[in-house]
Every structure is written in C-alpha cells, then in structure tokens.
Chains A and B, each alone.
Chain A
Amino acid sequence: MWERRYRLAHRNGWVYVCLMAGIADVLDWAKQQVGSRVPKADLDQRDPDYIREQLPGLWLLASLYFRADVRGLDRIPREGPVLLVGNHSGGNLPPDTFVFTLAFCSYFGVERPFYQLAHNLVVSMPGLGSLRKFGTVAANHDNAMLALESGAALLVYPGGDYEVFRPSWERHEVDFGGRKGYVKLARDAGVPIVPVASVGGQEAALFLDRGQWLAKLLMVDKLARLKSVPILLAPPWGLVVSDMVPRLPLPTKIAIEVQEPIDVNIEAGDDDVVHKQVMESLQGGVDRLAAERRFPVIG
C-alpha cells in the first residue's frame, strides 16, 4: 500500500512538473508573440503634414469637449532636444496626452520634431498605427535615446500604466510608482527635464482600483508588461474591467501647466535628488491647478 502511494505521488509530481513546464513554455511563446508585434522605433514615420491635418479636429475636441487650458509653453527651450516629463491621467484614453501634443505642435509648429513614449500595447494595437505618424514610439531606453539624440523633444510619462489607472480619489497625487529611469535618460542624453503638470484626466471616468492583483492573477504582468488591469465605472458600459474596450470619456476640464526646466548636470546631484526635484515641481503644479477647480469634471 505504501509502495502504491509512493508511486502515485511520484507520478503526480511529474504531472505537476510537466504542467508547470508547459505553462512556462506557453508564457514564453505568448511573450514572444506580444514582443514581436511591438514595432521598431522608426523616427521617420512621424509625418508633419498628417499632424497638421489632424490639429483642427484635436483643437475642436480640446476646446469644446475638454475645455482645455494649457499654460507656460514659453518655458520649453525654443530649440534642441528636451525631455518633457508629465504626470499621467485618464486610463487608456488619456486626454492630457493629446491636449499637450496639440499645444506643443501649435506653439512650435509641426515642423519641430516631437515624439512621445507609449506602452508597448498602445503602439502595437491594431487601429492605432496612426499614432506613429504623430511620433509615438514604444517606451524603452533605446527608443528614447534615439529620439533625443536626433535633437527632438520627447514626452514621457514615467508613471505609465501604474499612475494612469490610480483611483480617482487620488487624482491630484503625482505617483510614478518609484520609477526614475527618466533621470538617467536625461543625463545620458545631456538634456534638460521640463516637468508638465496636468489635472482633470482622472475625472474622465471613475477609476476604482488599479487591479494590480488582477494583472498578476491573469499573468499579463509577465506576458505584456501590464502591471495593472484596472476596474472603473465609465459610460456607456458601467463597470469596466481592463479599460481595453472603447468607452466615452467624461467631458472633464483639462488644465496643463508647463514648468521651469530642471538641469540634470553633475552639479544637480544624484538621480534621487533630481527625481525629488521633478516630483516636487509636478506636485506643486498639480496642487495649484487643483486649487482652481471648484467641481470635479466641470472644473
């Protein structure tokens, strides 16, 4: 009897090992599939004429629907590469990104090279290929360096999918989730950091939870670098999980403040010091803009 039990346990152990190996193989395969769909950064895909034709539509959306207000564009260096670092809001339909892109292109002209880093899923998602014409490239250090070394302005949201899905009651908190690789990027490229503070985006829906536990449970954190599978209330669906299905953002008033450039040279101190400076600048800007809001969404 003991021998039989031993054989059974031995066999079950093998089944378990084989099962885990199978899952690992499937995960690796899925990861490769997702990775292979992320387009290589090709800065030449940015198309100024295409952007110019899209600006009136974006202007209508920004001016009438989101009643956006963008200030301080004159603080951005007039030429040369610059790293624009913003706090991110609004889930997978972030109004702050397109409002700032519209403002930058209107102020400096579509001719000034301007790129934006986005999550792998955004740049590889079917139907969003046109974003590459706007200058959107997959978020990684190599692509960012490529853009900055070409002399372009680069917009990054270090908080990414962690910050963009924060609960709506934390809407006025700048939280990069400890990510500060952008400081190293600015140092490596030798470019100033210009903080870009914004408010309003997190009121485009009622974000309830980041859903990091769900991301782990579904293993999309390993498969697709998705750290969050958010849970939110949004029209027309009501309760939404993952924010992958198109929804109607609420017409929330967006306010953006561009702040004074921060030098990242050696004298500025180590990465932590610069990171702290950027966070304080952004939080100060968000607090100022938030203090001007009387009501959520309405502004």
Chain B
Amino acid sequence: MRVQRQCVIDADRDTVWKVVSDPDCYPEFMASLERWEHVTEGPADKGARYIVHWKIGSVPIGGVVEVSEFDPAHDLAWIGVSGVSLRGRFRIRDNGDGRTKVVFRLAYESAGNLLGIIADRVAARQVGRNMTQTLKNLKQLVEP
C-alpha cells in the first residue's frame, strides 16, 4: 500500500531540510507518533536507526527503521527493519519563488495474506490523515 501527501512550504530547501533531518524534531511534527527512540548514536545519516511507532487504529504500529538515503536538502528515505514492512521518504524540491515542495511517501505491507491486504487498505485512510497532519505541522514549524 502506498500513500502520498504533499505540500508547499514558504521557506527554502535548506530550512526545511534542517527540520526534516533532525531526529529530535520528529516528535514535534510527526502526527500520532507514539514512540520515537534512537537505536544508534550520533547524528542522522545513512545507516542510522530509530524505533518509530504511530498510533494506527487500536495499537501502535511500526518498528525499527533505518535511514537508507540521506541526501542533504533533497531526499531522506528509510526502510523498516522490524515490524511492518515499511518504506518512507521525504522528497524536498524547489517550487520557485523561494518556496519548497515537500512530498511525504509511505509504502507499507502487512504480513498475513488476505487479512494483511484488507488491514493495509483499512489503515490507509488513517495513515493518509496522519501524513496530512504531519505536513501541516512541518509547515508550521518551518515557516516563520
């Protein structure tokens, strides 16, 4: 299941990247975040690991994620190492007029064959709402 949301933020790419690449900012702008912990030490970079859980439905869903792409002011991507199979990405692009377009993507796949497919589809609405709220929070955090 792939869910995508996007927004335009009235700030340059570097300013947006400063927030998106800072692990300590995630509890501030990531909506429905139930758990956010560092697994590895040091600054965010490719290979850094975190435990992330979102409250989806009745319980926290997530697991350990690893940063798979860390391209400053451009792309930040991660993959799930444990828990639900998960890929996520923040695409940060120039939108002209000094503004920045941010695309937030999440692709996930539950185990469990048919019930897994149904669960993914049922969860998609709430995941989408959380992503929309996340981008709103990010916008508020970044824009002066």
Q: Are B58 and A62 in contact (CB under 8 A)?
A: yes
Interface centre among A52, A54, A69 (most CB of B within 10 A): A52
**Interface Cβ pair total, 8 Å cutoff:** 75
Chain A 65-84: CB-based contact to B (< 8 A → 1; otherwise 0): 01111100110000000000
The segment from B2-10, B66-74, B90-98, B116-124 found at the interface with A is B116-124
Q: Are A106 and B59 in contact (CB under 8 A)?
A: yes
Q: Is A25 an interface residue (CB 8 A)?
A: no
Q: Are B35 and A107 in contact (CB under 8 A)?
A: yes
Interface centre among A52, A54, A59 (most CB of B within 10 A): A59
Chain A 53-66: CB-based contact to B (< 8 A → 1; otherwise 0): 11111011011101
Distance of A168 Cα from B56 Cα, bound (Å): 30
Distance of A64 Cα from B115 Cα, bound (Å): 13
Distance of A59 Cα from B57 Cα, bound (Å): 8
Q: Is A99 an interface residue (CB 8 A)?
A: yes
Q: Are A55 and B122 in contact (CB under 8 A)?
A: no
Distance of A66 Cα from B58 Cα, bound (Å): 9
List the B side residues contacting A74 at CB < 8 Å: 35
- Report the interface size for chain A: residues with CB under 8 A from the other chain: 25
Q: Are B59 and A111 in contact (CB under 8 A)?
A: no
Q: Is B83 an interface residue (CB 8 A)?
A: yes
- Chain B contact residues: helix, strand, loop or mixed: mixed
CB-contact partner of A60 in B35, B62, B113, B122, under 8 A:
B122
Q: Is A103 an interface residue (CB 8 A)?
A: yes
List the B side residues contacting A56 at CB < 8 Å: 110-112, 115-116, 118-120
Q: Is A205 an interface residue (CB 8 A)?
A: no
CB-contact partner of A69 in B58, B82, B118, under 8 A:
B58
Q: Are B111 and A59 in contact (CB under 8 A)?
A: no
List the A side residues contacting B63 at CB < 8 Å: 109
For A52, give the chain B residue with the smallest CB separation: B111
A281 to chain B, nearest CB (A): 22
Q: Are A57 and B119 in contact (CB under 8 A)?
A: yes
Q: Are A54 and B112 in contact (CB under 8 A)?
A: yes
Measured CB to CB, the residues of B under 8 A from A are 34-35, 53, 56-64, 82-83, 110-113, 115-116, 118-120, 122-123
The 6 closest A-B pairs by CB, nearest first: A63-B57, A56-B119, A68-B58, A56-B112, A57-B115, A62-B58
Given contacts A52-B111, A63-B56, 8 further A-B contacts (CB under 8 A): A53-B113, A53-B116, A55-B110, A55-B111, A59-B57, A59-B123, A63-B59, A109-B82
Q: List 30 A-B contacts (CB under 8 A).
A: A52-B112, A53-B113, A53-B116, A56-B110, A56-B111, A56-B118, A56-B120, A57-B112, A59-B58, A59-B61, A59-B110, A59-B119, A59-B123, A60-B119, A62-B57, A62-B59, A63-B57, A63-B58, A64-B57, A68-B59, A70-B58, A70-B60, A73-B60, A102-B58, A103-B58, A106-B59, A106-B60, A106-B61, A107-B35, A109-B83
